[in-house]
């Protein structure tokens, strides 16, 4: 008898704001294990903004995925059965097993996790994509100094909140934007940002002008769109931007388009550097112990919002875009 | 009796492609010389693509200029009268005296030129804005190496042709785009580019794919628009772009907009650095002797297209955008 699994599939063409109703949960038979495979039972599934991209009609690094397709993504799980000498039943592993509760995966594509004093879910955030992205953006790309002001958009999101704190550890002055007063209070009161703005209720340009009367030095961009335009207007000559996402543009089919104020790059002699976690495969091994040490030493605040059960993965995903969640959104199965 | 001058004025709202009919020549009385002023008779007037920007409806570094306004811009002239101890009648000078045959200018705003073995018109091109822009882009921003391929757009233009040659002097492989077969033959046959494409008759993406099967290393961008998009698609991971103009977008009111394929910057981890001659005021004094030495040693080809007379300044300007001219366009008065 085949092993069974529950998976999340795309139910319909996603138009505009993504919602839980765009997906459905389906049961399916798993393929039998081939040599080298393991059967993994997922403990935690990650939802991340970039997963919106293949749901648009515009191909990028990943091709668009169609109706009926299963959603991919990182998950942490326990090996239930193994036909590989690399992994044994009971091992905790991470891999791209997708939005599902169980999966048959090649052991070679899984990373065995050390869970001694480390929450397994951290590997989907601060010790995973979010941590690598934030660390690379601050320490490799932007490198803000103690004399500079850094603006972080989506500062209460998983990547933004780490970027903001890493910049504070370098001594920079850090200001951020978020989508609610509650998030802004948390950012200034708990996380330690120097100022935060609720972009839904206050004019971002006015905020940046007030906080940076001599011009903004650098900008960590998660969101693109009108926020990137506001930052371009606020940056000082030779200012710099690290660019790792354009989340505000993902809910439409025009996410690839550049900012309206792009010409400012020439006028002010700005530098824009794009980056993503995938570029730092080898270096990430060096980043993560630093992040783990900061976390254990209490130098970094890391906040997770946990949804429960495979049926709630789609809603967890939608919460990334409607601004409900603070920090990293995760689903516990 | 007042001194008289002929000036070029904006005659009507410029819509789409700029044409000579958008301007008119007017005679006017000059103001009397105040202390510190000189009266300059212009020998050469420069026309440059950036002058199109204040003729759009969208404010940038320079505010839009209205109907009836005089056009500004660099010119080289001879001092006819002086009320400044800094300059004497007969001195050759450069300054922002604009599209006119005579002007009253503060001596402090003029640079006295050394014309010993140097053509005065060179100060409006290779030893002026064009040279500074090309040199900064290649030597300070992009810094292509002997192992790399650089793509230069508008490679037969004043800035592009210098950028291409400076990159060749660094040992890089250089390919370029231009708007006619004649220009492409000149670029490969005379200037020494490794390949050139007529973007009006050949697909730019196909050209870049053929010339750079492993991905383009770097791009010197003069033109923006669809050419920038093609370069974004062709660049290798961590490729880099130096950006000094968006000339293909100047004839519409959307010149500030970013490229359609901007998200590629994140996907490939690209770096885009904007620059302009104005940023290199102090360093330019170091750039220009190098350019002058290269020119005298025959290491750089410099080609000027000369229009004659103040009445032809508007047509010279229009020729920058319709692709008629090769190299630097200048007007001799």
Residue pLDDT, tens place only, A12-57? 999 889 999 999 999 999 999 999 999 999 999 999 999 999 898 7
Residue pLDDT, tens place only, A249-281? 998 778 999 999 999 999 999 999 999 999 998
Q: Which long-range contacts (CB under 8 A, 24 or more apart) does B138-142 make?
A: B138/B163, B138/B166, B138/B167, B138/B170, B138/B220, B138/B242, B139/B166, B139/B287, B140/B275, B140/B280, B140/B283, B141/B242, B141/B273, B141/B275, B142/B167, B142/B218, B142/B220, B142/B240, B142/B241, B142/B242, B142/B273
Mean pLDDT of chain A: 95
Optimal mutation site among B220, B258, B275, B276, interface A, most CBs of chain A within 10 A: B258
| Interface contact B97, partner A, CB < 8 A | no
The ipTM (two decimal places) reads: 0.95
Please list every residue in chain A whose beta carbon sits closer than 8 Å to the beta carbon of residue B241: none
| Interface contact A271, partner B, CB < 8 A | yes
Please check whether residue B152 is in contact with residue B160, taking contact to mean a CB–CB distance below 8 angstroms.
yes
Q: Is the pLDDT of residue B61 over 80?
A: no
Give the gap in angstroms from C-alpha B65 to the nearest C-alpha of chain A.
Answer: 18
* pTM assigned to the model: 0.95
Please check whether residue A275 is in contact with residue A243, taking contact to mean a CB–CB distance below 8 angstroms.
yes
Nearest chain B residue to A262 by CA distance is B258
Residue B319 exposed, middle or buried by CB count within 10 Å (0-12, 13-18, 19+): middle
Q: Which long-range contacts (CB under 8 A, 24 or more apart) does A19-26 make?
A: A19/A314, A19/A318, A20/A314, A20/A315, A20/A317, A20/A318, A21/A314, A22/A55, A22/A314, A23/A71, A23/A313, A23/A314, A23/A317, A25/A310, A25/A311
Best CA proximity match to B94, nearest among B114, B115, B74, B118: B74
| Interface contact B261, partner A, CB < 8 A | yes
B283 CA to centre of own chain: 18
Mean pLDDT across the stretch A117-135? 95
Q: Is B72 left (phi over 0), alpha (psi -120 to 50) or beta?
A: beta
Q: Is the pLDDT of residue A243 over 80?
A: yes
Please list every residue in chain B whose beta carbon sits closer than 8 Å to the beta carbon of residue A270: 273-274
Residue B13 exposed, middle or buried by CB count within 10 Å (0-12, 13-18, 19+): exposed
Please check whether residue B17 is in contact with residue B30, taking contact to mean a CB–CB distance below 8 angstroms.
no
Among B61, B243, B261, the residue with its CB nearest the CB of A256 is B261
CATH topology of domain B4-125+303-332: Quinone Oxidoreductase; Chain A, domain 1 (3.90.180)
Best CA proximity match to A325, nearest among A307, A298, A301, A300: A307
* pLDDT at site B57: 78
CATH topology of domain B129-278: Rossmann fold (3.40.50)
Nearest chain A residue to B228 by CA distance is A258
* pLDDT at site B10: 95
Mean pLDDT across the stretch B107-133? 94
Nearest chain B residue to A271 by CA distance is B273
Q: Among residues of chain A, what percentage have pLDDT more than 90?
A: 88
Q: What is the dihedral of CA A209, A213, A214, A216, to 10 degrees?
A: -40
| Interface contact A309, partner B, CB < 8 A | no
Q: Is the pLDDT of residue A123 over 90?
A: yes
Q: Is the pLDDT of residue B271 over 90?
A: yes
Q: Is the pLDDT of residue A319 over 70?
A: yes
Looking at the DSSP bridge assignments, the partners of residue A129 are none
Beta-carbon count within 10 A of B322 CB: 13
For chain A, which residues make up each domain, given as ranges? Answer: 4-126+302-332, 130-278
Identify the CATH assignment for A4-126+302-332 out of 2.60.40.10, 3.30.2090.10, 3.90.180.10, 3.30.70.1350.
3.90.180.10
Please check whether residue B108 is in contact with residue B82, taking contact to mean a CB–CB distance below 8 angstroms.
no
Answer whether A271 sits within 8 Å of B271, measured CB to CB. yes
* pLDDT at site A275: 98
Q: Is the pLDDT of residue B253 over 90?
A: no
Residue pLDDT, tens place only, B285-307? 889 999 999 999 999 999 999 99
Residue pLDDT, tens place only, A63-84? 888 899 999 999 999 999 999 9
Place B56 in a pLDDT band, splitting at 50, 70 and 90.
confident
Whole-number Å distance between alpha carbons of B331 and B311: 10
* pLDDT at site B1: 66
Mean pLDDT of chain B: 95
Query: E-assigned strands of chain B?
Result: 4-10, 23-29, 37-46, 75-82, 92-95, 102-106, 111-112, 149-152, 173-178, 195-198, 216-221, 235-243, 271-274, 304-308, 328-332
| Interface contact B262, partner A, CB < 8 A | yes
Give the gap in angstroms from C-alpha A42 to the nearest C-alpha of chain B.
Answer: 28
Q: In the 8-state DSSP scheme, what is residue A284? A: H
- The CATH code that applies to domain A130-278 is 3.40.50.720
Beta-carbon count within 10 A of B17 CB: 12
Answer whether B276 sits within 8 Å of A269, measured CB to CB. yes
* pLDDT at site A303: 96
């Amino acid at each position: 008898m085949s092993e069974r699994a529950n998976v999340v599939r795309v139910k319909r063409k996603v138009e505009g704001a993504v919602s839980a109703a765009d997906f459905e949960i389906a049961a399916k038979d798993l393929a039998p294990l081939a040599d080298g495979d393991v059967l993994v039972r997922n403990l935690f599934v990650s939802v991340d903004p970039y997963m919106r991209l293949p749901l648009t009609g515009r191909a990028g690094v990943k091709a668009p995925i169609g109706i009926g397709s299963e959603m991919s993504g990182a998950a942490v799980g326990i090996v239930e059965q193994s036909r590989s000498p690399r992994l044994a039943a009971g091992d905790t592993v991470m891999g791209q097993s997708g939005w599902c509760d169980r999966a048959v995966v090649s052991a070679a594509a899984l990373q065995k996790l050390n869970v001694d004093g480390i929450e397994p879910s951290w590997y989907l955030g601060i010790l995973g994509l979010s941590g690598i992205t934030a660390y690379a953006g601050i320490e490799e790309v932007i490198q803000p100094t103690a004399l500079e002001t850094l603006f972080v958009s989506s500062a209460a999101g998983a990547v933004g909140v780490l970027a903001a704190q890493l910049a504070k550890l370098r001594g920079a002055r850090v200001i951020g934007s978020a989508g609610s007063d509650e998030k802004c209070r948390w950012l200034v009161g708990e996380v330690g940002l120097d100022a935060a703005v609720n972009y839904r209720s206050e004019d971002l340009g006015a905020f940046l002008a007030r906080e940076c009367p001599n011009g903004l030095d650098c900008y960590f961009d998660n969101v693109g769109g009108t926020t990137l335009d506001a930052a371009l207007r606020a940056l000082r000559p030779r200012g710099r931007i690290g660019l790792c996402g354009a989340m505000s543009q993902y809910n439409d089919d025009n996410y690839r388009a550049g900012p309206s104020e792009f010409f400012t790059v020439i006028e002010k002699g700005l530098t824009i550097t794009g980056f993503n976690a995938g570029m730092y495969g080898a270096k990430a091994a060096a980043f993560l112990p630093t992040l783990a040490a900061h976390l254990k030493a209490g130098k970094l605040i890391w906040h997770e919002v946990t949804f429960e059960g495979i049926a709630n993965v789609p809603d967890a995903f939608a919460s990334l875009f409607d601004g409900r969640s603070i920090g990293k959104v995760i689903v516990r199965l």
